[in-house]
Structures are given as C-alpha cells and as structure tokens.
C-alpha cells in the first residue's frame, strides 16, 4: 500500500519528509515549511522500554493444531481454505450487495465448529458438503467484537475435503474500506456511484466471509453480476461475459494462490486505455469517463517498471494482466491488489503539459511501488502483520531503484534523503518502536503503516544493499522469491537468502536495526592529529534518566560507515563496519578533512568536532555531493533541536548555503526557518522574514523566473520552492507583486508560465489573499480539470492568513463539498497554520465525534498529526487533557508519538525562543 501524503503543493522531497506516512500531518503549502520544519524538529531521546522479544518469538508458522483458539484475533489452523468460488451481486442504487461463496476446505482434525472472519455482514445460510456425504447445515453466530463468524454443526465434521456454501449480504459503505462506494460527477454535473474494494489490512472480511489472515493463501474465482450499463474489474482476466436475468455476469479467471487482502473488485462506469504489452502482460489504465487523456504518463511508468522489475527479480510478472485503476474516493495512496491496483486519482492521473516535476515524481513513485509489490508482497507474503514492515520497506526501496533507472536526472536517491530524515526524526522519539514488533489486533496492524515501516525500513535496506553490493543484494532477493513463491515468509528468511549470496552474517548485522528502536549518533574527533576516533551512542534529544536501567544506554549497532578522507595527495574512500562503541582509525599522512557517511546511505547522524567541521568547510562544502550537504545541514539542525548546537551556530552554518542549487538541501533550510516561524510571535516574524530573504535571494537571482532551454527538472522545481519561500516566509513584496502579475498572465493566457512555478503562485496569492481571492480559489477547486489542480486549490483554502476565511475552510471539512479522503488532511493543515491553529483545535474538539464517524480511520489518524503544530505550553496542556479524558487510541504508538513531538516543539520554543529573537533583532539593526 502507499499512504496518502502531502503531495500537491509540497515538493516531492518535502512531502516525503513531512508527510512521512506515519506522522503525516500536512498538506498545506503556504506554511509548508512550517510543517516540514516540525519533522526536522523532532528530537530524540532514549527509549524507556526495549521490547522483550526476539524474532524467534515473533515467528509464526502455520501449525495444524488448534493453537490459536485462545487468541481472539487469530483463527485456528485445523480448517484450511484452499479455494473460493465467490459471486457478488452489487446494487449501486441501494448501496448494498448480496454474495454467495463456496469455499473448498481441508479439515485436518474432527471439529464441530468452523471459525472464520466476517464483520458487518449478514450471513443467512451455511452448508457443508462433500462427495458421498449428506449436506450438513450449520448455525451461524456472529462475533462482531472480534469480527468473526462461528459456524456450528450438530455432529463432528470428519477430516477431509469439504465445501462450505455461504449466502450473505452487506452494505456498500462510505468508509473507504471493505467493499465501499465512491461517487463522482460527470461533465454534465450528473452524479454517479461506483463500488470499489480496499481490503488491506483486515477488511476483506467486510466484503465476504473468509480466513482473513495473510497466511491463509487460496485461489480465488470471482464472479460479478452487475448492471449491464456498467463495467467490472477484478484481479484476473474475464473468461466469461454474458447476460443472465437482466444482469451482466462477468466470470474472472482463477487467481494465483494469494492472501485475502489482495482480492479486489471494482464496479462502475469506467473507461480504459488500450493495453500496452510489458513482456507477456497487457497493461491498462482505468478511470471514470472523461479522464483518459490523463493516463499516458502513468501508463509509461507502469510499463517501464513492470519490465524493470521482472528483470530485477529474475522472474516473470505473476498475474495474467495488469490493470491500474483511479478511484475518486480512496483512503490511502494506492493498493497493490494483484492485477488490479487501485489508486487515488492524484497518484495515477495527470496532465503532462501542466503537471509539476513533483506531481510527476509522486505518480512515478507510487506506480513503481505498487508494481514492486506484485512479487514482493503478493507472490511472497508476510506470514503475519508483524512482517508488514518488510513488505512496505522493500516496495519503497524498489520504487527508488525503478524511478532512478527511469529518470536518472531526477536524482531519486538524493531525494530519498528527505524520507530518511523523516524516519530519523520519529525514530529519535522515546515513543518510537522497533521496525518489527508484535502485532495482535487489526488496529495494531493498521498503525504499522507509518514512517518507521516505510522510510526507516527502506533506509536500512538501502544501507545493507550498499554494504553487501547491489548485485549480491539482488541475487539474494531472487533467491528469496524463488524459495517462497506462492507462500509466506518471515523477515529472517530474507536475511538467510542475503546471507547465502553475500557470505556474510546478515542477521547479526541487521538485528539491532530491525528489532530495537532508535539509531546511532556517530561522533568524530581526532586524537594526536593522526587517529580518528569514532564513537557511537544512541541519538538523543535529551539524556534520559531511565536509559541506563532500561539498557538503552548500552545499545550498540553494527554500522557500515563510508569515510572520505582528503589528503594533500588526493581523496581516499574507506569502508569500515563499526561494531564497538569506540573505534579508532589511523589517518593517512597529510590528511586535511574527513567526511563520514559518504554517499549518504547510512541510517545514522554524524557530529563532527569543531576542528573537523572547519576542515570540511575549508575544503569547500560545494565539493560535497548534494545528499552529503543535505545530511550535514539536517544533522546539525537535529542537534540544534536537541540542544547540542546553538540556534546561532546553526543559522551561521546556513550562510554557507546562500547560493545552494539543490532543492533537497533547500528543503532542510526552509523547514528549519519554518519551525522558527512557528515559535515566534507575529510581531517578530518580519525579522525572520529578513533573514529568509538574505539566504534565499542569491539563489533566486541565479534562477530568475523563467527556465533556461536545457534546464534540469530539479532546477525547475527548485525555482518554485524558492519563489514560494520568498513570497511567503520571506514576505518579499516585490516577489508577491510579480507573483500576482504572473498569475494574472496565466489566467489570461498572455504569457507562458512554467508549471513548476504555478503552485508557488497559488501559495503566495493565498498568503496575501482577501475575500475575493478566497472565493475565486473555491471556484477553481470546484471546476478543476485535473486531480492535481483540484488538490492545489483545495489546500490553498488552508493557506490564507485571514482567520475569518480559514474558518470557512474549517466548516467545509464537515460538508460533502470536500471528500472524506481529503478533509482530514485539510484539518491537519489548519492545525498547523499559525493564523488559525487555536480555532482549528477548538473545532476538532467540538466535532470529534462527527469526524470519528465521518472520516476514514487512516485519515483521522493523519489528521491528529496536526496537533504537533499546537506548540505553545497552554495548547499542549489542553491537547493532552483532551486525548486523555476521551481515552482516544489511534492504534500502536501513533498518539504517543504525536504528543511527544508536540512536547519537543514546545520545549524548543521555551528554551531557545528568546535567544533566536535577540539574534534576529541584532541582524535586523
């Protein structure tokens, strides 16, 4: 699955960092850096508790005895499904469906009871039959608390092969999970309904009774009986299409053996592209009518990535066709149903002539990510949800690899620095968790879709890949896929495969990274001018008094470190694997500077002694790769939040980046300025604006308003970021006036405006906008012709400064003017907007019950990420009181992490605000 993230207005890099799936707060763009900043601001500290488990304890194998009857969230293993013959008759008018299924079962031990998953379904009959046996009718009892269906038989069912016939009915809900309804208006303004599924993690049970655990893999033969004016898609090709009793009955080919969460069906008025073949596989893109002109870009990356992946994995695509379907209402970003991948529209459809680089990148990433899952996830699946991280981390890693190969000029691995930075932020919290941890209830599985699963997971895989070598790594992945095809695997199975191909002790290397929270801070110093001392300790925001007793203080990682040593004779690269807390490395004669984390692939932070830092500066920061400059600045900013570096020293360092040309490095700087903007009072913000102008202007002068003929995409994107920064945080009046001119020219079509600049124009105009502008943007949101444009204008409504206008936006979030897939993100943006945050918080408190009912669960969780922007002591107290008194649980450690992030933001404000203000005042005079 791909999570929805801050996309449109935000650049892809910023999006990765701020949204960062887990703590995704935001999609604002006026104050995009305020939000980005919050991510960088997240500090670290020692974890109080180390979870007392090992991977062995997590291991779960399919046992044949009734081992799980004591666990209300696991099904017993004495009845195993192997085949589902499933027919669904959806009625889009009455928002309901009926179903009939025949599940072929292997009964292993005599039993009077069959237990399977179902929820919010009305199961009317259950009959068991087998060859040469009289049919047996069971009594059905629903256990809604545990989402199970219990079928009892008067006499024991003997072992053997049986067929269970079930008849059931359900509702097409509006909660964007299970089998749900989505709506859209056509070009004439007529409303239509379509029905789609979203089953991961545990919502297949909302559409049909099933053994809804990833380990119960089976073959699915789906039949959909629909209104003849509609179309339907499922995981496989259509093998029969006929009209029966006034209905169009579509029978789909049998699927490969797969988990329930990958089954999909979509029904509605849909249009598709002609197929393009990727080796033997026809690839098509689907949309609601009228949007087919937005498919070519997504189609191209879909075909490219499928070919790339088949080659990388060394095995053909496992399905018989591949459809990619844009759904108007979709809770996450996309979902990897085998052969029928579903997307929210912004993640699949775009107009190539008007889309920004960031918008293109977003689609390329998500399409590549989902395609990567067809093998890693669909063909080989985690045995249980504790292994979800590997599924998602690997797909995230592969999405980089694919897009990097497709568009080398996009420097995808440099951009990944932002995602890594977001993971470093959350993983620095006391309330972080190990990447892999025990999961029992479905809610805990849902909470695993976070920055630690995706971004930390992908970061440590990249670190491992670079350490053992890309070819050896790929061969290990091939070995793993071959060994476990059509089955399930544990994390350790991948380490075994990688260990075999690399001839290294991969489990020993990876265990601390996977099964323990946090990561190291490497401190570098020189002794006797000839020995480099490298010490590691867990990165901490503040010393935690419980660290020693909990053992966190003695955590030690195996850290693959790449050093670049510059000497008077040239440059030398050294690779070392640190395994001790202190490591001594002799330096060559004539050395002048040392860089740790060369290439930027390491998942750790670096701190240099004063001498080493000045050595790096003397040898020229421009000689560092962009990702190395990014890490240097990002690590220093994190140390500032942690109180190890003074804000003055950090801001002095940013002076060296006044002419920076890399958008990722700029994202760190703009993020940090935004954090500072968040903690200042309004009357002090003009002083910060002056500093922002001082830093940005040289880069802007270099770029100007208009792209040069041969300009790289990244530079075009940087121009947009820079202009937005100047016009909003920098409050540059000349830029604001020019933005208005450019916007007017754009609307009147009197001048070509580069698409990458347009989001910045909208941001600036919202920032400076009045009532009339607000109404204009509302109109543009309603009449938008692309998903990107719709989103851009929607989120601009959270980026104004006038409270009365922002209150209008707040009110809209609870109306059907805004889709529930978007509304929670908009609320999150408003919680982060310093001009409305108090009122937005009051609004959330007042309307909590309604929001809880209205918004998808994942959206509500993301919305709550917005509380990290409420960074005053008074608001923090109120936030804590609210969540505690309501006993709100967002699943896993999500809420705890938000509250800790908020606390750190407040602490930073209380500790450093006066010093920052004084320093800005000195600069201003």
Q: For residues 834-893, which are near Zn ion according to CB under 5 A?
A: none
Give the Cα separation of 140 and 533 in Å (integer).
Answer: 68
Of 865, 760, 696, nearest to 32 by C-alpha is: 760
Q: From residue 141, how far is each of 80, 123, 212, 434 by CA, in Å?
A: 20, 9, 17, 38
Q: At its nearest, how many Å lie between Zn ion and the CB of residue 333?
A: 9
Q: How many CA atoms lie within 13 A of 532 on its CB side?
A: 23
Q: At its nearest, how many Å lie between Zn ion and the CB of residue 369?
A: 5
Q: Residue 1 interacts with Zn ion (CB under 5 A)?
A: yes
Partners of residue 612 on adjacent β-strands: none
Nearer to Zn ion, 200 or 323 (CB): 200
Nearer to Zn ion, 332 or 907 (CB): 332
Q: For residues 712-751, which are near Zn ion according to CB under 5 A?
A: none
Q: Residue 92 interacts with Zn ion (CB under 5 A)?
A: no
Q: At its nearest, how many Å lie between Zn ion and the CB of residue 341?
A: 10
Cβ pair 43, 639 in contact under 8 A: no
What is the torsion angle, in degrees rounded to the nearest 10, for the CA atoms of residue 482, residue 483, residue 487 and residue 489?
-120
Nearer to Zn ion, 213 or 392 (CB): 392
Q: At its nearest, how many Å lie between Zn ion and the CB of residue 373?
A: 6
CA angle 559, 604, 432 (to 5 degrees): 110
Helix crossing, 12-19 with 32-41: angle to 10°? 50
Tokens for 82, please give them: 């192997």
Nearer to Zn ion, 261 or 608 (CB): 261
- Is the Cα dihedral 450, 831, 30, 352 positive or negative? positive
Q: How many CA atoms lie within 13 A of 848 on its CB side?
A: 13
Q: From residue 572, how far is each of 587, 590, 595 by CA, in Å?
A: 11, 12, 11
Binding to Zn ion by CB under 5 A, coded x per residue (else -) over 371-410, reads ---------------------x--x---------------
Q: At its nearest, how many Å lie between Zn ion and the CB of residue 848?
A: 30
Q: At its nearest, how many Å lie between Zn ion and the CB of residue 62?
A: 24
**Paired sense of beta strands 340-344 and 334-335, if any:** antiparallel
Nearer to Zn ion, 1 or 250 (CB): 1
Q: Which residues contact 711 (CB under 8 A, 6 or more apart)?
A: none
Q: At its nearest, how many Å lie between Zn ion and the CB of residue 262?
A: 12
What is the torsion angle, in degrees rounded to the nearest 10, for the CA atoms of residue 709, residue 710, residue 716 and residue 722?
-80
Whether residue 345 lies in the annotated active site:
no
Give the Cα separation of 252 and 574 in Å (integer).
Answer: 56
- Is the Cα dihedral 422, 426, 428, 434 positive or negative? negative
Binding to Zn ion by CB under 5 A, coded x per residue (else -) over 448-467, reads --------------------
Nearer to Zn ion, 392 or 684 (CB): 392
Q: Which residues contact 918 (CB under 8 A, 6 or more apart)?
A: none
Cβ pair 342, 325 in contact under 8 A: yes
Q: Which residues contact 869 (CB under 8 A, 6 or more apart)?
A: 25, 34, 35, 38, 678, 831, 832, 833, 834, 837, 905
User: What Rg value do the Cα atoms of the chain yield, rounded?
Assistant: 28
Nearer to Zn ion, 395 or 451 (CB): 395
Nearer to Zn ion, 394 or 603 (CB): 394
Binding to Zn ion by CB under 5 A, coded x per residue (else -) over 339-378, reads ----------------------------------------
Catalytic residue chosen out of the listed positions 4, 200, 370, 490 = 370
Nearer to Zn ion, 1 or 258 (CB): 1
Of 571, 467, 563, 580, nearest to 524 by C-alpha is: 563
Partners of residue 565 on adjacent β-strands: 572, 594
What does DSSP assign to residue 554? G
Q: At its nearest, how many Å lie between Zn ion and the CB of residue 200?
A: 9
Cβ pair 868, 402 in contact under 8 A: no
Cβ pair 711, 71 in contact under 8 A: no
- Which stretches does DSSP call E strand in 118-229? 121-130, 133-137, 139-143, 148-157, 160-171, 178-185, 191-198, 219-226
Q: How many residues bind Zn ion (CB under 5 A)?
A: 3
Nearer to Zn ion, 395 or 692 (CB): 395
Give the Cα separation of 677 and 670 in Å (integer).
Answer: 10
- Is the Cα dihedral 876, 878, 879, 883 positive or negative? positive
Of 52, 34, 4, 24, nearest to 837 by C-alpha is: 34
Nearer to Zn ion, 396 or 555 (CB): 396
Q: At its nearest, how many Å lie between Zn ion and the CB of residue 360?
A: 20
Q: At its nearest, how many Å lie between Zn ion and the CB of residue 692?
A: 36
Nearer to Zn ion, 1 or 596 (CB): 1
Tokens for 8, please give them: 């449109």
Q: Which residues contact 563 (CB under 8 A, 6 or more apart)?
A: 532, 573, 574, 575, 576, 585, 594, 595, 596, 598
Q: At its nearest, how many Å lie between Zn ion and the CB of residue 436?
A: 16
Q: Which residues contact 566 (CB under 8 A, 6 or more apart)?
A: 572, 591, 592, 593, 594, 595, 619
Tokens for 37, please give them: 């900043």
Q: At its nearest, how many Å lie between Zn ion and the CB of residue 419?
A: 14
Give the Cα separation of 447 and 865 in Å (integer).
Answer: 13
Nearer to Zn ion, 366 or 670 (CB): 366
Q: For residues 149-188, which are near Zn ion according to CB under 5 A?
A: none
Q: At its nearest, how many Å lie between Zn ion and the CB of residue 370?
A: 7
* Catalytic machinery residues: 370
Q: Which residues bind Zn ion (CB under 5 A)?
A: 1, 392, 395
């Amino acid at each position: 699955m791909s999570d929805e993230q801050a996309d449109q207005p935000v650049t892809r890099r910023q999006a990765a960092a701020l949204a960062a799936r887990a703590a995704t707060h935001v999609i604002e763009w006026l104050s995009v850096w305020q939000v980005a900043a919050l991510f960088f601001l997240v500090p670290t500290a020692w974890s109080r508790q180390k979870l007392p488990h090992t991977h062995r304890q997590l291991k779960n194998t399919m046992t044949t005895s009734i081992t799980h009857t004591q666990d209300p969230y696991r099904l017993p293993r004495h009845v195993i499904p192997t085949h589902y013959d499933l027919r669904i008759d959806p009625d889009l008018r009455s928002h309901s469906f009926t179903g009939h299924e025949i599940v072929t079962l292997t009964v292993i031990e005599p039993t009077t009871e069959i237990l399977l998953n179902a929820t919010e379904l009305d199961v009317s009959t259950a009959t068991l039959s087998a060859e040469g046996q009289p049919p047996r009718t069971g009594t059905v009892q629903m256990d809604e608390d545990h989402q199970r269906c219990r079928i009892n038989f008067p006499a024991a069912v003997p072992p053997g092969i049986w067929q269970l016939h079930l008849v059931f009915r359900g509702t097409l809900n509006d909660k964007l999970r299970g089998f749900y309804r989505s709506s859209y208006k056509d070009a004439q303004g007529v409303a239509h309904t379509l029905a789609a599924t979203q089953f991961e993690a545990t919502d297949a049970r909302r559409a049909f009774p099933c053994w809804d655990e990833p380990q119960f893999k089976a073959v699915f033969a789906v039949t959909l009986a629909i209104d003849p004016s509609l179309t339907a898609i499922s995981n496989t090709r259509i093998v029969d299409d006929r009209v029966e009793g006034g209905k169009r009955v579509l029978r789909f080919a049998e699927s490969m053996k797969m988990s329930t969460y990958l089954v999909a069906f979509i029904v509605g008025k849909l249009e598709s592209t002609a197929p393009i073949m990727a080796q033997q596989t026809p690839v098509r893109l689907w949309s609601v009518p009228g949007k087919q002109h937005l498919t070519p870009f997504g189609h191209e990356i879909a075909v490219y990535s499928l070919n790339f992946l088949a080659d990388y994995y060394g095995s053909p695509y496992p399905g018989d066709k591949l459809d990619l379907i844009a759904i108007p209402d979709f809770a996450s970003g996309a979902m990897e149903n085998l052969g029928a991948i579903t997307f929210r529209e912004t993640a699949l459809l775009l107009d190539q002539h008007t889309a920004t680089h960031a918008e293109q990148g977003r689609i390329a990433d998500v399409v590549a990510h989902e395609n990567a899952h067809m093998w890693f996830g669909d063909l080989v699946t985690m045995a249980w949800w504790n292994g979800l991280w590997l599924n998602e981390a690997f797909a995230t890693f592969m999405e980089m690899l694919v897009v990097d190969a497709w568009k080398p000029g996009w420097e995808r691995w440099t951009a990944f620095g932002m995602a890594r930075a977001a993971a470093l932020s959350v993983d620095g919290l006391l309330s972080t968790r190990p990447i892999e941890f025990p999961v029992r209830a479905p809610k805990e599985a849902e909470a695993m879709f976070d920055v630690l699963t995706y971004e930390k997971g992908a970061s440590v895989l990249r670190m491992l890949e670079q350490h053992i070598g890309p070819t050896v790594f790929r061969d290990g992945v091939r070995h793993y896929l071959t060994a476990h095809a059509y089955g399930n695997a544990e994390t350790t199975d991948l380490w075994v495969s990688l260990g075999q191909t690399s001839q290294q002790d991969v489990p020993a290397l990876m265990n601390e990274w996977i099964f323990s929270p946090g990561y190291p801070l490497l401190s570098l110093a020189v002794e006797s001018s000839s020995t480099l001392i490298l010490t590691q300790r867990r990165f901490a925001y503040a010393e935690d008094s419980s660290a020693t007793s909990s053992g966190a203080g003695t955590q030690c990682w195996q850290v693959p470190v790449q050093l670049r040593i510059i000497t008077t004779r040239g440059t030398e690269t050294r690779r070392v694997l640190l395994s001790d807390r202190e490591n001594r490395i002799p330096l060559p004669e004539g050395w002048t500077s040392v860089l740790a984390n060369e290439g930027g692939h390491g998942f750790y932070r670096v701190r240099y002694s004063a001498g080493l830092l000045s050595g790096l500066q003397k040898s020229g920061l421009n000689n560092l790769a962009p990702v190395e400059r990014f890490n240097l600045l990002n690590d220093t900013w994190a140390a500032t939040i942690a109180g190890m570096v003074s804000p003055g020293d950090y801001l002095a360092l940013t002076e060296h980046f006044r002419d920076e040309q890399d958008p990722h490095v700029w994202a760190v700087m703009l993020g940090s300025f935004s954090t500072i903007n968040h903690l200042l009072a309004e009357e002090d913000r003009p002083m910060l604006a002056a500093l922002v102008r001082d830093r940005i202007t040289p880069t802007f002068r270099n770029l100007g308003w208009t792209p040069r003929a041969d300009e790289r995409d990244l530079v075009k994107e940087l121009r947009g970021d820079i202009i937005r920064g100047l016009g909003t945080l920098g409050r540059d009046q000349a830029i604001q006036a020019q933005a208005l001119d450019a916007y007017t020219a754009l609307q009147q079509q009197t001048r070509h405006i580069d698409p990458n600049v347009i989001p910045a124009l909208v941001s600036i105009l919202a920032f400076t906008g009045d009532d009339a502008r607000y109404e204009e943007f509302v109109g543009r949101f309603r009449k938008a012709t692309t998903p990107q444009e719709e989103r851009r204008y929607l989120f601009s409504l959270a980026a104004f400064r006038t409270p009365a206008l922002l209150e209008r936006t707040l009110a809209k979030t609870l109306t059907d003017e805004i889709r529930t897939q978007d509304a929670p993100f908009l609320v999150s943006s408003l919680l982060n907007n310093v001009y409305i945050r108090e009122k937005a918080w009051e609004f959330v408190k007042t309307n909590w019950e309604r929001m809880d009912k209205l918004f998808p669960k994942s959206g509500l969780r993301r919305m709550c990420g917005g509380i990290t922007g409420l960074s005053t002591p008074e608001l923090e107290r109120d936030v804590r009181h609210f969540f505690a008194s309501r006993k709100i649980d967002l699943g896993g450690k999500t809420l705890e992490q938000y509250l800790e992030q908020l606390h750190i933001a407040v602490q930073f404000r209380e500790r450093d605000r006066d010093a920052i203000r004084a320093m800005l005042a000195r600069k201003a005079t």
